Amino acid sequence: MKRLLYVLLLLPGLAQAGGTISASGARFRYLLPQIPAGGYVTLKNDRDHKIIVTGASSPACGMLMLHESKDESGMAMMMAVKSVTIEAHQSFSFAPDGYHLMCDKPLMKIGQMVPVTLAFADGTSMVIGFQVGGAGTQ
């Protein structure tokens, strides 16, 4: 499993299942070990059907959750989301001030590449290498 993981890390952007989901710009904004790191990535779904991201995990995070910062009823808030749907041949960005991955209890260092596994509703998953940056990560 570990070897497979590293092979996938060497080929960032290749999906484990299907080979038609690609990832770009994967990065964490890391500040301190006791402060959650924000994760961002753009996913491109080149499949002929929609994909649904249902969860994320990483050995570099105590817990990794899908979150969204959004305005609601005139107030801005951040909340956990259960899934993110990407329609066929569409892209979706986890980006600052919107959808993001919240990495609680991060175990990472600036400059590292850490693996994140995204789980999809069809039971498949994808490992993406996330570049760890500091406060200026946008």
Partner 1 sequence: MAIFSPPVLTRRALGGLCAAGAIGGLVRSARAEDAPPSVNVSGTFPKLQFDMTLASTGKSVTGADFHGHPVILYFGFTRCPDTCPLTMHNAAELVKSMGKLGTKMRVLFVTVDIEHDTLPLLKAYMANFGAPPVFDGLRGTAAQTAAFAKRYGVGYSAPTSPDAPDPVSAISHTDAIYAFGPDGAARYIIGSLADARPDLPAIAGIMRPLARRAA
Where along the sequence are the contacts to partner 1 (CB under 8 A)?
29, 31-32, 34-38, 63, 65, 67, 69, 71-72, 74-80, 95-98, 100, 102-104, 134-136, 138
3-state secondary structure of 24: strand
* Matching residue, tokens 């484990």: 16
9 versus 119: smaller Cβ distance to partner 1: 119
10 versus 32: smaller Cβ distance to partner 1: 32
Q: Rounded to whole angstroms, how far apart are CA atoms 129 and 122?
A: 22
Question: CB of 7: closest distance to partner 1 in angstroms?
Answer: 29
Q: Is residue 41 within 8 Å of 24, Cβ to Cβ?
A: yes
37 versus 43: smaller Cβ distance to partner 1: 37
For Cα atoms 120, 4, 116, give the angle at the middle one, nearest 5 degrees: 45
19 versus 134: smaller Cβ distance to partner 1: 134
1 versus 80: smaller Cβ distance to partner 1: 80
Q: Rounded to whole angstroms, how far apart are CA atoms 22 and 16?
A: 10
Q: Rounded to whole angstroms, how far apart are CA atoms 70 and 74?
A: 10
Tokens of 21: 């989901």
Question: CB of 28: closest distance to partner 1 in angstroms?
Answer: 10
Continuous H helices in the chain: 2-10
Question: CB of 90: closest distance to partner 1 in angstroms?
Answer: 20
Question: CB of 18: closest distance to partner 1 in angstroms?
Answer: 27
Question: CB of 60: closest distance to partner 1 in angstroms?
Answer: 14
